[in-house]
Amino acid sequence: MKPPLFDYVRAETVDEAVAARAAHEYSAVLAGGQSLLPTLNFRLARPDALIDIGRIKALQGTAIDGDEIVIRAMARQREVEYDEAIFAANPLIRETLGNVAHAVIRNRGTVVGSIAHADASAELPALLLATGGAVIARGPKGERRIEANAFFKFHMTTSLAADEIAVAVCIPRLPPGTGYAFLEFARRHGDYALAGVCALLTMGAGGRVASARLAACGIGSRAVRLVAAEAALNGQKPDAASFAAAAKAARDAVTASDDRQASIAFRKHLLEHIVGRALGMAHGRAGKPFAS
């Protein structure tokens, strides 16, 4: 478990990092290193260069820019989790981050890194999908914005080009009164979820659901929107019957095959169950001020 030889480039600016990425055929970007370093030690990845972006000042921290929360590439998960302004703007972020691995991992791991890594079982890609966020990528041709629904292609595969670096993610502010919940089930505290779900409920006129947004992780080859479940809710009264119908509709989103922890049948059962519970939680919070 020792990595093969690689070049190490410590970039001082984003331009330097982008240039280094262009200069190497197969480079990897080192931010928090919580997924990359084990991958190297297992020799599952053999990049010819690691581009360390940890010292780049422009990639540190977070900002709230109008209706968007901007989380830059070096913002640690723990830093985002504890940020009160971010919580006030979108409390689902803190709730989701609380389920990401363990505190010591979140101390070093970055939000952008986890999203760019795009593990199919990871929580943060589902968060980005559910909230309708985007990834900001920087490459030799400049900067572009990739919407969440166009970003995640497959397990650990994104639409980021080989010469691009994810420099930030943007997550929309939640309108006040939005009901929200993140719920997952993992074998052990802090593990990747066997199934996890982000739920957002916006109530409309007549006490009916104006808009439901649901995204899940751990159930297929990438994080996915639960569109059938959303459709089953939109325009409905938020009650046990509509939640149960939505939860049932979510089952077909499971595309993962049997694995060592869960059969397809169990995963469908789990997803149905946690969608139902997450909707209940989200509904309970709808129309109320965000409070921790």
Partner 1 sequence: MATRGFGAPVQRTNDSRLLTGGGHYVDDIPLAGALHVAFVRSPFARARIKRIDVSAARAHSGVAAVYTADDLGALDVEMPLLIPHPCLIGPRTQRPLARGDVHHVGQTVAMVVAVDRYVAEDAARLIEVDYEPLPVELDLEKAIKSDAPLVHGDVKNNIAAHFVQTSGDPDGAFARATHFTKIRVRVERSTAAPMECRAVAARYDTVSGELTVWDGTQAPISVRGGLASLFGLDEDKVRVIAPDVGGGFGQKVLLFYPDEILVPFAAMRLGRPVKFIEDRSENFIGSTQERTQIHEIELAATKDGDVLALRDSFLHDTGAYIPYGIAIAQVASTSIAGPYRVPNIWVEFKAVYTPTVPVTPYRGCGRPHACFAIERAMDQLADELGLDRFEVRRRNLIAPAQFPYTRQGLLFADGLAVTYDSGEYAKALELIAKEIDVAAFRQEQATALKAGRYLGLGLAFYVEGTGLGPYEGGHVKVHPITGKVYVNTGLSGQGQGHETVFAQIVADQLGVDPNDVIVVEGDTGVFDWGVATFASRAAVVSGNAIHKAALKARAIVLEAASNMLEAAIDDLELVDGKVRVKGTDRGATLAEVATATNPLRYAFNKAAQSATQFAPAARHDGPQLGEGRAPGIEATDYYAPPHATWAYGVHAAIVEVDPGLCSIKFHRYLCVHDCGNMINPAIVEGQVMGGVAQGVGGAFYERVEYDVDGNPRNANFMDFLVPYATEVPRVEMHHMETPSPLNPLGVKGVGEAGCIAVGQVLASALDDALKPFGVAPFREVPLSPNAIFEAIEAAKGRRP
Q: Which residues bind partner 1 (CB under 8 A)?
A: 1-5, 42-43, 185, 187-191, 194, 260-263, 265-266, 269-270, 273-274, 277
Compute the residue count for the chain.
292
Residue 250's identity, in one-letter code, is A
The neighbour count for residue 260, using CB atoms within 10 Å, is: 4
**CB of residue 286 vs partner 1: minimum separation in angstroms?**
22
* b (16+ CB within 10 A) / e for 103-137: eebbebbbbbbbbbbbbbbbbbbbbbbbbbbbbbb
Distance CA 115, CA 123 (A): 9
**CB of residue 193 vs partner 1: minimum separation in angstroms?**
11
Question: Which residues, in sequence order, are bridge partners of residue 29?
Answer: 51
Q: Which is nearer to partner 1, 27 or 121 (CB)?
A: 121
Q: Which is nearer to partner 1, 232 or 270 (CB)?
A: 270
Q: Which is nearer to partner 1, 162 or 265 (CB)?
A: 265
Q: Which is nearer to partner 1, 61 or 280 (CB)?
A: 280
Nearest partner of 138 among 29, 34, 35, judged by Cα: 29
Residues 6+ apart with CB under 8 A from 46: 4, 6, 26
Nearest partner of 223 among 289, 177, 158, judged by Cα: 158
Q: Which is nearer to partner 1, 168 or 271 (CB)?
A: 271
Q: Which is nearer to partner 1, 226 or 274 (CB)?
A: 274
**CB of residue 224 vs partner 1: minimum separation in angstroms?**
20
**CB of residue 262 vs partner 1: minimum separation in angstroms?**
5
**CB of residue 171 vs partner 1: minimum separation in angstroms?**
27
**CB of residue 137 vs partner 1: minimum separation in angstroms?**
28
Contact assessment for residue 226 and residue 214, using Cβ atoms and an 8 Å cutoff? yes
**CB of residue 122 vs partner 1: minimum separation in angstroms?**
13
Q: Which is nearer to partner 1, 43 or 55 (CB)?
A: 43
